[in-house]
Amino acid sequence: LDAARLRRQLAEIGDVQHALIGDILAEAAGKLPPKPEASLTHFCNSLAQAAVHVPYHLDNLFRALQAFIEATTDAQPSEFALTIRLTETM
């Protein structure tokens, strides 16, 4: 897990006017029957609204991971990035 990478991927999802979600809705506009188009629009709106809250949850996830690692290992702060593999035994 990499917070910066996850944030970039989240930005690529976009909203109903931009990026992936916007592209999907723009491509579907006028090409689907009204009911499926309305369902797709509703789904995309829900997805875009949920994506707004993801950064908060990402921050909490990485804070919890950091606290876990500090509590269970002898991890020392450094100026280098560390890759830590979480396993079942941890």
Dump pLDDT digits (tens) for 23-43: 999 999 999 999 999 999 999
**Using 50, 70 and 90 to split pLDDT, how confident is the model at 67?**
confident
Question: What is the average pLDDT value for the chain, to the nearest integer?
Answer: 88
Q: Tell me what pLDDT residue 90 has.
A: 65
Burial 57-67 (b: 16+ CB within 10 A, else e): eeeeeeeeeee
Distance CA 72, CA 2 (A): 20
Does residue 56 sit in helix, strand or coil?
A: helix
Domain boundaries, the chain: 3-72
Q: Tell me what pLDDT residue 75 has.
A: 64
Q: 10 Å Cβ neighbour count for 44? A: 20
